[in-house]
Chains A and B, each alone.
Chain A
């Protein structure tokens, strides 16, 4: 019956629509089908739906044609290009949609700054989209759910009053990089002269931009092109960490370190820092230095470069302030810089004083690395990174003088992040309106809160650092009862105020589309294309010409005033939740800090020396005080930091705006003077309290175990090759996987067809953690919360092990991604009593969730401890629309079941289905990308078929840096690691062997 039910459309048409058989879901295979075939089918995920496409037709027919999404085939994904703006950094994304909802975001390969990769933030965008804590209805005064129309009318009335009183209305917007948004705002200001727009960043970091404006005549921040740099001197510039373009930087940086052969060249990264930044942990040479010494250090480098040529006096003075200990190093580095010439660059952290920026700029200019086609290229600047201070001062001024009658907050949260003075001033404004996703601190203090649409729900455009444009396509209708984006609401409001405004513009989309037509001359056909491609390179925008002013530069160099006395503290955006705008994303809250591995908290990190001097230990609570503001923080002893410095993270201690963020960490914004990122001298007072801190890694030492292999470039190139510490075991295998003595009494299993394997290049990996979140998003991995992480029950399928080599004061750091190694002789499989974990014919170590009874024996017997057990039911938050976040191709595991990395088996099966559909025997190399691989900005992860001699994986496995972790156990892992190579002098890595 079934067979002919779906044979052809004709048979199909004969069935009356009322035939109940149509509604029947596709029946499971008869019991006649062997268990194995059934497992195969069931695990085929999307493929199954497709194989059974015919059978699915009735379901499809039940969807009213009118509402059926275009091209939509249930069970098959659709991909749409869209964009993500991380503040004023732009990334192109590709969204994977199933049954009309986005389920996964990936970087857009065509986008110049994403290049197919994505950051943890981009991944987390999906979480915020489906966040049940998002507000659905407009709040007006006490009225919990007011119609938008009514709210707009009310606002309009008030604005007219404000106007009549001759007062101003300010629109506070976040940092963004959308040209059309700018255009819209200009239009608004033109039409309503009493309206002023101010960019209200959660923290101010425009030192570089200001300097560039004065010295080079470019009122913007450079986005350095690391791909062009052979030598990078980073002074606490966390380009690979919290930098907004970290994805692009990581890509360019790793590009130069992949070492396919011994002849390859690699760049050299020297980090000079007091803090322990992610960039610092990846440095070939890391100099631990007190911030007060930076200027002296750079100045003496500058002197060294200048040789006999005259140097402005302030530089000499600065140079004289260099601590003797560093003088020699400064000279060495100066020499190295000279050798690399214009391919060398000095980069400075945004939080550092103007002088340091000036000196760095001076050095870079001297080296000739500033200019078109150079590392610091005027063609690569951060949009809207113009100096913000003037505007803000004017804003404060107007507030102070009571000239402001109404305030709009568009996706900004000053009530949380602004300094107390600004907060007090804001409170004086009678009419405050918030436009934001969450009912956050600011919204709570506003008269009206309009829940605007999420960026994945609304149209928009973004401009990348290189000037290329992308369109932000909505992927789903707004979940907040259809209210549009900030821009939509503003347009509606404008039309409310003045019927003639924005004639013929129904929504922001019309405005956007018209503007693109006008400014870029985009026809509908081209538009279609841009939407498909996701990127549009406009006629090359006029690159501002550099007008170098030595005088201005010299003027900028003056004593920074940072002193070695007392404690210096700095608060920087957190690696996980950035400035707090991601605070309600449990994924990012539980993403371990790549350096400290802390989760769910911010801390006062200090060096072991400082802690010892102050008699403090990790988890002691201290109070940091500047002037009359103070912050309570738990102490974290962080190896590698300079003495006398405290690092803490922003974004924590939120009070309003969701369930997740409540009671997590402390608000450290009060530590920012006037909201500016910078070092401040604080007084520290220990409190008689302790506070529980939770990390995902308790031991950082290698105990001399050959788990991580490191070498130096010189050593690696030397004829006798690298001296990796090899395991002291008999029969230890050589790199081709051939064992010197047979270690098995049974013949090895034959893998015909595919045999999946992975290569992880530890020299490329920077430990950023994008893979962790990508994996979490792809595989429906739950977050467990601080208490469960404390118990050691985090569920991440891929983790990044961070090891400290050498002394605790100035350790070298190695990041090692660790995931299921899919061992050929998997120890976990042998011990499972119910055969719930078995080996697939393609070499995958498979976990059959619905067969697992939860003995946890496999976990005990896993040498890598990469299996994860559902000790409790971790999917407890079932508030809609959270369930839409789940990937329909991946089972949601229940309590009491073991789980682990599957090599994204659902993706493998999808690819196999496509191959089958196109009549191919095998899946093409690169056709399957695991989630971690696809996200990785460094391209450190390569996955493929080891049975295919041509595949990238097979090639890389031959690389002489390759090794298997714990290969001496003869478990024969399918994951090959490529040893880390440091571009450093032997004496610089002397401690590394004493791991």
Chain B
């Protein structure tokens, strides 16, 4: 039957109708050269500059973490009504950022969105690093961090188990699962490319290292067969996972009794927010990578355009959520709820609230215009603003609900100390350091996938790839 097929369809040589996802019409070898080459070539001055800055930030943050653990959480600004502040805000923020990674590689893969190939690798890496930064906070925010392992259900001399009613335990399971699965997914996708690099590099040490990690991948058709299934399954389970993780994170609040936290809208609201902030961060990152590593041919304006569309969509979702929260509070007739939301917008933390609204609802509206969607500078600034806005969203939810709750006599105010700020900056440093290392030593773009979508890279007598 293959024979018939061969007879049936004459070979066609034509450019794809739609805009190409890879510019410069490179050959398969060009792709290898271009991407594996990054790994082989010595780093540029741009690279060292950025790396030293982020490395410094990371070091400072780690020092402050040490200081906190040695002295006690008291070095932060937390107090009686407000027992969570920047720590959990950063935790939720980082987790949220992680989500776009999984989303881009998993969901877009399921939907056969081929434009993902340019960014999915860096997006997945971002997920992993973001989740690492996120996971840091629940650990160090403990009063006795050296007992953090008590949150795991393991047999111990106290005959004690964890309390499975507590959302924090759900968090432990969700976040650790998320991290593990993301790493597996990422590594699986890397296998063929690592093999490519293995065969590309000449120097002995790198060769040895890449051979080790490529696990002896040779690209045999039988392997590809299993590989594609495995990749599909991981994509399929990652998709609900990414939705579940932020839902679980939102349970930390939704399950509580606090007005402003105890809200059923939280799970979808948090997920939308996560995608929103995640895509913003991906944009920030790939735009930097694009500049530092000259990847204009692979990360094209079309990619940027697509991601901006998603920003616009998710931005409007969170906007809807903000409005709905107020409506529900008003409609509930619950005086505590009403007060909290009024206080959120017009109380001591009103400034934070309006910053959030501006960054998350107003700014994305720019992207109704195609011109702005394809303007790199505008996109970059917007993506930063969205990151800021989403950070404030979490801050507003956590702090403004806590500082004025039920009994006016117990109300208070919270302001962070330099230590908290430093630790936050530190995690940014850790994140970008890890990302830069990744960008240099791991193929930043999925070589095999890009190759697979090049024009005429697939047999033409099957459904033409680009038509």
Contact A853 B409 (CB under 8 A): no
Per the 8 Å Cβ criterion, residues 240-266 of B in contact with A are: 252, 255-258
Listed stretches A294-302, A562-570, A824-832, A985-993; interface member: A824-832
Q: Is B358 an interface residue (CB 8 A)?
A: no
Residues of chain A within 8 A of B82, CB atoms compared? 792
Other-chain residue from A801, A835, A854, A965 in contact with B144 (beta carbon distance below 8 A): A854
Given B145, B408, B410, which contacts A702 in the complex, CB threshold below 8 Å?
A: B408
Q: Which residues of B contact A853 (CB under 8 A)?
A: 142-145, 147-148, 150-151
Cα of A894 to Cα of B143 in the assembled complex, Å: 10
Q: Mark B319-353, 1 if CB is under 8 A from A, else 0.
A: 00000000000000111100100000000000000
On chain B, the residues within 8 Å of A869 by CB distance are: 80, 83, 143
Measured between C-beta atoms, what is the minimum distance from B69 to chain A in Å? 10
**Is the Cβ of A865 less than 8 Å from the Cβ of B143?**
no
Question: Which among B159, B257, B407 has the greatest number of chain A C-beta atoms within 10 A?
Answer: B407
Task: Determine the distance from Cα of A22 to Cα of B81 in the docked complex, in whole angstroms.
Answer: 50
Tell me if A225 counts as interface (CB < 8 A to partner B): no
Query: Distance (Å) between the CB of B171 and the closest chain A CB?
Result: 8
Complex contacts, A792 vs chain B, CB 8 Å: 79-82, 412-413
Residues of A within 8 A of B166 (CB): 830-833, 857
Q: Give Cα A895 to B411, complex, Å.
A: 24
Evaluate contact between A818 and B409: CB separation under 8 angstroms. yes
Question: Quick check: is B406 within 8 A (CB to CB) of the other chain?
Answer: yes
- Are the C-beta atoms of B142 and A832 separated by less than 8 Å? no
B339 to chain A: which residues have CB within 8 Å? 703
* CB of B147 to closest CB in A, whole Å: 5
A863–B406 CB distance below 8 A: yes
A897 and B73 alpha carbons, distance in the complex (Å): 11
A793 at the interface (CB under 8 A from B): yes
Shortest C-beta distance, B372 to chain A (Å), equals: 41
State how many residues of chain B have any CB contact under 8 Å with chain A: 56
> Does B206 interact with chain A (Cβ within 8 Å)?
no
Kindly identify which residue among A698, A832, A856, A871 contacts B72, using a CB–CB cutoff of 8 Å.
Answer: A871
A residues near B165, Cβ cutoff 8 Å? 830-831
CB of B74 within 8 Å of the partner chain: yes
Chain B residue contacts of A855, Cβ below 8 A: 138, 141-143, 168
Q: Known: A863-B257, A872-B72, A898-B143. Contact between A705 and B408, CB under 8 A? A: yes
Q: Which of A788, A816, A827, A856 contacts B83 (CB 8 A)?
A: A856
> Is A700 within 8 A of B151, CB to CB?
no
Enumerate chain A residues within 8 angstroms of B147, measured Cβ to Cβ: 853
A818-B407, A865-B405, A865-B407 known; A834+B257 contact, CB < 8 A: no
Is A164 close to B, CB under 8 A? no
Is there contact, CB below 8 Å, between A834 and B256?
Answer: no
Report whether A791 and B163 are in contact in the complex, using a CB–CB cutoff of 8 Å.
no
Closest chain A residue to B411 by CB distance? A699
Q: Assuming A792-B80, A856-B84, A896-B72, is B159 touching A35 (CB within 8 A)?
A: yes
CB-based contact A834/B409 at 8 Å: no
Q: Encode contact with A along B148-178: 1 for CB under 8 Å, 0 otherwise.
A: 1011000001111111011111001000000
Asked if A854 contacts B73 (CB within 8 A), the reply is: yes
Interface residue B268 (Cβ < 8 Å from any Cβ of A): no
Chain A count of residues within 8 A CB distance of the other chain: 61
Which of B72, B145, B158, B255 is A831 in contact with, Cβ under 8 Å? B255
B409 touches A699 (CB 8 A): yes
Residue of A whose beta carbon sits closest to that of B158: A35
In chain B, residues 74-125, which have Cβ atoms closer than 8 Å to a Cβ of chain A?
74-75, 77-84
- The answer to whether A400 has its CB under 8 Å from any CB of chain B is no
- Is there a chain A Cβ closer than 8 Å to B402's Cβ? yes
Q: How far is the CA of A802 from the CA of B407 in the complex (A)?
A: 11
Which residue of A is nearest B408, CB measured?
A699
Please tell me if B71 contacts chain A, counting CB pairs below 8 Å.
Answer: yes
Please determine whether A860 and B162 come into contact, CB atoms closer than 8 angstroms.
Answer: no
Do A971 and B257 touch (CB < 8 A)? yes
CB distance from B150 to the nearest CB of A (A): 5
With A707-B407, A861-B257, A864-B410 already in contact, the answer to whether A871 and B78 are too (CB < 8 A) is yes
Q: Which residue in chain B gives the minimum CB-CB distance to A970?
A: B257
A799 CA / B148 CA spacing, docked (Å) = 31
Q: Mark A798-832, 1 if CB is under 8 A from B, else 0.
A: 01011100000000000010100000000100111
- Most chain A CB within a 10 A radius of its CB, from B74, B151, B255: B74
B168 contacts A833, C-beta separation under 8 Å = yes
Please judge, given known A-B contacts A698-B411, A863-B406, whether A704 and B335 are in contact too, CB under 8 Å: yes
Choice from A802, A860, A870, A965 contacting B143 with Cβ under 8 Å: A870
Give a binary string over A831-874; 1 marks a CB under 8 Å from any B CB, 0 the rest. 11111000000000000000111111101110111001111110
Residues of A within 8 A of B161 (CB): 835
Given A699-B411, A861-B256, does the pair A851, B334 have CB atoms closer than 8 Å? no
Residues of B within 8 A of A788 (CB): 74
A728 interface contact, C-beta 8 A: yes
Interface check A480, CB cutoff 8 A: no
Q: Report B-chain residues with C-beta under 8 Å of the C-beta of A831.
A: 165-168, 255-256
A701–B148 contact, CB under 8 A? no
How far is B84's CA from A699's CA once the two chains are assembled, in angstroms?
21
> In the docked arrangement, what's the CA distance between A937 and B162, Å?
43
Task: Please state if B405 and A872 are interface contacts (CB–CB under 8 Å).
Answer: no
Taking the complex as formed, is A950 at the interface, i.e. its CB lies under 8 A from any CB of chain B? no
In the assembled complex, the CB of B78 is this many whole angstroms from the nearest CB of chain A, namely 7
Q: How far is the CB of A963 from chain B (nearest CB, A)?
A: 14
A834 to B162, CA, bound (A): 5
Given known A834-B163, A966-B406, contact A856–B144 (CB-CB < 8 A): no
CB distance from B71 to the nearest CB of A (A): 7
User: What residues on B are CB-neighbors of A728 within 8 Å?
Assistant: 333, 335
A64 to B180, CA, bound (A): 64
Q: Which residues on B are within 8 Å of A, measured CB to CB?
A: 71-75, 77-84, 138, 141-145, 147-148, 150-151, 157-163, 165-169, 172, 252, 255-258, 333-336, 339, 402, 405-413
Q: With contacts A831-B166, A873-B72 known, what are 12 further pairs, Cβ within 8 A?
A: A34-B159, A35-B159, A728-B335, A830-B165, A832-B166, A855-B142, A855-B143, A856-B84, A861-B258, A865-B406, A865-B410, A869-B83
* A-B residue pairs in contact (CB < 8 Å), sample of 26: A35-B159, A698-B411, A699-B409, A704-B335, A705-B335, A728-B335, A792-B81, A792-B412, A793-B79, A801-B407, A827-B256, A834-B162, A853-B145, A854-B142, A855-B142, A856-B141, A860-B84, A861-B257, A863-B405, A863-B407, A864-B410, A865-B405, A871-B143, A872-B71, A873-B72, A969-B257
Closest 6 A-B residue pairs measured CB to CB? A854-B143, A896-B143, A35-B159, A792-B79, A872-B74, A801-B409
